[in-house]
Chain A
Amino acid sequence: MKPKLIIGIFAIIGFTSLLMYNLGESISTYTTFDKAPDMKVAHVAGVWDQSKEHGFSMETKIFSFYMKDESGNSRRVVYSKPKPNNFEQADRLVVIGEMRGDTFYANDMLMKCPSKYNDGDPAQFINASEG
């Protein structure tokens, strides 16, 4: 009985630590453009900077736009896939990729969309009531 129990306990400890180690490796932290160059895969959260140009280039097949991160820095982000469906709607973006020079190369993008009304702009209702 005894040795089996010990083996079992060791197996559980070994398994759990490996699992936790691996989980820790695959979880990263949200960061800013300033700190992104130190990371291999950086998750940067921010908002779309609408004051600068954006769009999909037919020539390079790249979607690019400017994003303002949480510390207020605006950087160009390029994304080699089509513009995501709810891009304009998102009130928060998370871009996942790496910084090269001054440009962020995103492999993946997540959009956090507002629940349509809670955070919404009441202007649309005013218009509706007037018109």
Chain B
Amino acid sequence: MIGLIGKILLTLSFLSGVVSMCLYFQGAKNDDTAKLKIGNWLFGAKGAFLVAASGLLVYLLFTHQFQYYYVFNYTSLDLHPKYLWSAFYGGQEGSFMIWIFFSWLIGFGLMKWTREPYKAPVLFFLTLTQVFLLSMVLGWDIGNIKIGSSPFRTLVEEMPDAPFIQANPDFVPQDGSGLNDLLKSPWMMIHPPIVFVGFALMTVPYCFAMAALWKQKYNEWIGPALPWTLTGNVILLTAIFLGGYWAYVTLSFGGYWAWDPVENASLVPWLIGTAGIHTMIIQRKSSVAQKSSIFFAILAYVVVIYETFLTKSGILADSSVHSFTDLGLYNQLLLFVIVTTGIGAALFLWRYKELPTQEKESQILTREFMTFTGAMLLFILGLVIILGTSSPIIGLLFNDNPTPPETSFYNQWSMPIAMLMAVFTVLGQYLFWKKYNWETLSSALINPLLVTSVFTLASAIFGQVREPYYILYMFTAYFAVVGNGWVIAQLCIKKPKLIGGSVTHVGFGILLIGILASSVYNEPMLDGRIAQYNENVKQGNVKDEMGFTVTEPVLFLELKLKEPKIVNDKYIVTYVGFDIEDQNRPGQQTYKLLFEPLDGGDPFYMYPEVYPMLATSTQENVQWSVDPDVRSGLLSDIYLYVAGSSYIKQRNDMIARRANVNPVGVQDEVPEIQTIQFEKGETITVGGFEMNFIDYAMEDTAALPPSTTIGVRAQVQVHHIASGQRFLLEPLFALYNDEEGKTFVFSPPVDLPGFDISFSFSKVRPETGEIDLSITGLDEEYKSEWILVVAEQKPFISVVWLGTFLLMIGFTVSIFRHWGRERKK
């Protein structure tokens, strides 16, 4: 019943959207304010229906009505209420709804503040996009044509042919399948809504540009469009930052950026939007670049829709770590892309001849030229990224079954473009505020260049930046920081309100420094033995059991309970233990690691977590998911997660045993022979004995048979705790060849006097110096407690965040400036 009401509400919302769109169209065509007014009322009604429908969906989510597919698929009974909100936009249907909702709110702002003659056409284009988005959640079935996918569909509608539905059409599951555990994060509560606010705001420049083309007023739209675009930009940047931060602290790929299509989907509109901001600013100042302002304003939104198509149509299924669901909206989304692009391009080309052209060419040393170049560079970077993201389509040019490009494709292209950008930010900012010729500009830049050189040199000497290409990159990044910093210093004295642009550009430079430092100078945290092993791997000296050269270094840190290890000659790291917690994520283990800096700093703890993914785990198959811990420092972060532990291994073994249905009792029996691995000097306590592997003792090979190649003894001290008796055993390990040249191991057992226990030295691991002792007759099973940690030292992540914050601050200052001027009109 509620579902039906929900569907009707969404249909009403769609219909009032269509009618208000028609009214706006006529209002715009005939300058008919009466039509515009009715259109506004219907626009309001459309949103009211949508809000009511959203309210119903929220109600269904909070009352756990699992007969509805959306509720079943994204929630479960034990889900914390705050994450029931996340579940609202956990699926595509809900995310479309929240997108329309924000776009609707923005509509009221546009109604209030937009002046004639733009008002009606702007609202027409805004409503047009909303009608498309609303059609995605309709869930109409007309004959064979399916329009939209409704969040209110029931399980029966979702899979009518399933046997359990046919047996019992009123079937209601007792619990839902639950929200993806990775999304149970406060960051993931706020990130998606902010993305959609950003996408909704990016519609505004599109609407203004289209209105300008329609009404043939090519200059005035910049005034109101600029603050909207800037706001969209800040919001989108915030969303990108939150997404990156979430990926860094929640996922185990160990970074904040992976050139994933979903990340690119918000980065590219941001880049194109920023290009648009540049051309709008020079258009406002000097009445040039009308064409490119309109072009970028249209393109920014087209890109939003295109990327939505890529990520939501299922076409990227193979190329992303994100799992996309294909809701069968492919054709509808494609139509959306074609219409927004089509009418954008058509209107642009139709008016192209009429658009103002610049009388004479700009000189190179003008703010127009420099700002325009900046916009072009942003545009090119956006283009490169779109090209890479479109690999499932564009890749068909190269082969029939294309893979996504390697990430090096993105890195190789974005680096030089970013370097050029960095240089142009300084030239652009200098020329923006003052006229220069080559001579005066060079002399004005001498001091900044000197400071830049000093910084670059310092990085090369103290920061180990030695690669020429990186030195050049760092030079341009420092130049952006210093040069724009210089401009800020001068502006602060005269007109502090105008520093927005230069703050943004300083932020950009800092971001570049942070990106390089944090990605290239990443250092795995390993103990000395593994580091030595990796060094051998690097030199190609290590072979695996198949005889192939090992190329991949080991990046694990293995820690035994309460056995400190020295890591990177910097810390003593000890695994102290773990707790099991059943509150937020039942079955979650919180591991506790103690770090003691060798240079005498304060010790600290880190708490990585491992938990069973409840949404996807079953009794027979527990899937463990990791939650890294990050210790942020001013200069360097420590990032680590637990990749395995003795506890998890035991749990998995137990599940495996249960699956094999062993006879009862067998699993508790102590094995007759136990093989225990010892490091040199290590003491292990089991079955009432303390055993210490003291050292190797060389065996005289002369005393052994002539075919023996190796003979070595282990000195093992065994201490019977109850009686206090101590024994020194020296079991032998020998390799000998038979007549045919085959190698055999000879490890005779040595008895422990007075006990029914014997030791044999069964294996040597020359690469690590460890040995295996096989012990017969112990009455307790030895279980060592260990964890396997992946830890990295990541320098200057904080610099990446700092750069991002400065970008946000700079853009925000500009919003106030442009908004303030617009209000005064």
Contact = CB atoms under 8 A, between A and B. Distances in A.
B454 to A, nearest CB: 34
- Residue of A23, A29, A81, A128 contacting most chain B CB atoms (<10 Å): A23
Interface of A: 15, 19-20, 22-24, 26-30, 41, 43, 45, 56, 58, 60-61, 80-82, 85-89, 92, 94, 100-101, 103, 105, 107, 110-113, 115-118, 122, 124-126, 128-129
A117 B177 contact: yes
Contacts of A116: 73, 177, 615-616
A49 B618 CA distance: 19
Nearest to B395: A27
A111 B253 CA distance: 14
B394 interface: yes
B552 A88 contact: no
A29 B403 contact: yes
Interface stretch (B80-88, B162-170, B801-809): B162-170
Contacts of B388: 23
Contacts of A80: 552, 554
Given A26-B408, A60-B544, A80-B552, A19 B384 contact: yes
B387 A88 contact: no
Given A19-B384, A80-B552, A80-B554, A27 B177 contact: no
B387 to A, nearest CB: 6
Contacts of A118: 325
Contacts of B177: 116-117
Interface in B398-413: 398-406, 408-409, 412-413
Chain B interface, >50% SS class: loop
A94 B316 CA distance: 14
Given A19-B384, A56-B644, A81-B555, A126 B163 contact: yes
Interface stretch (B225-233, B623-631, B751-759): B623-631
Nearest to A22: B409
B191 to A, nearest CB: 19
A115 B402 contact: no
Contact of B546 (A41, A81, A89, A103): A103
A85 B625 contact: yes
B164 A85 contact: no
A61 B544 CA distance: 12
B621 A88 contact: yes
Contact of A26 (B69, B400, B406, B556): B406
Given A23-B409, A85-B623, A125 B164 contact: yes
Interface string B551-589: 110111010000000000000000000000000000000
6 contacts: A19-B413, A85-B252, A85-B613, A115-B323, A115-B325, A116-B73
A81 B644 CA distance: 11
Given A45-B318, A58-B644, A60-B544, 14 more contacts: A22-B409, A23-B394, A29-B399, A29-B402, A80-B552, A82-B788, A85-B626, A86-B625, A100-B548, A112-B323, A117-B72, A117-B73, A126-B163, A129-B164
Contacts of A22: 409, 412-413
A48 to B, nearest CB: 12
B644 A117 contact: no
B163 A88 contact: no
Contacts of A27: 391, 395, 398-399, 402-405
A61 B790 CA distance: 12
Given A30-B401, A86-B616, A129-B168, A122 B406 contact: no
Nearest to B642: A82
A61 B401 contact: no
Interface in B436-473: none
B403 A30 contact: yes
Given A82-B643, A112-B318, A23 B387 contact: yes
B176 to A, nearest CB: 10
Contacts of A29: 398-403
A30 B403 CA distance: 6
B616 A89 contact: yes
B158 interface: yes
A24 B625 CA distance: 36
Complex A-B, nearest 4 residue pairs according to Cβ-Cβ distance, in ascending order:
A82-B643, A26-B409, A80-B552, A115-B325
B173 A128 contact: yes
Contacts of A87: 623
B397 interface: yes
A117 B69 contact: yes
Contacts of B788: 58, 61, 82
A88 B622 CA distance: 9
Nearest to B553: A80
- Residue of A27, A113, A122 contacting most chain B CB atoms (<10 Å): A27
B626 A129 contact: no
Contacts of A26: 405-406, 408-409
Contacts of B162: 122, 125
Nearest to B162: A122
Contacts of A88: 621, 623
Contacts of B387: 19, 23
B604 interface: no
B321 A23 contact: no
B696 interface: no
Contacts of B263: none
Contact of A101 (B158, B323, B546): B546
Nearest to A116: B177
- Residue of B175, B397, B552 contacting most chain A CB atoms (<10 Å): B552
B546 A100 contact: yes
Interface string B2-20: 0000000000000000000
Contacts of A23: 387-388, 391, 394, 398, 405, 409
Contacts of A24: 397-398
Given A22-B413, A117-B73, A28 B163 contact: no
Contacts of A92: 318
A110 to B, nearest CB: 6
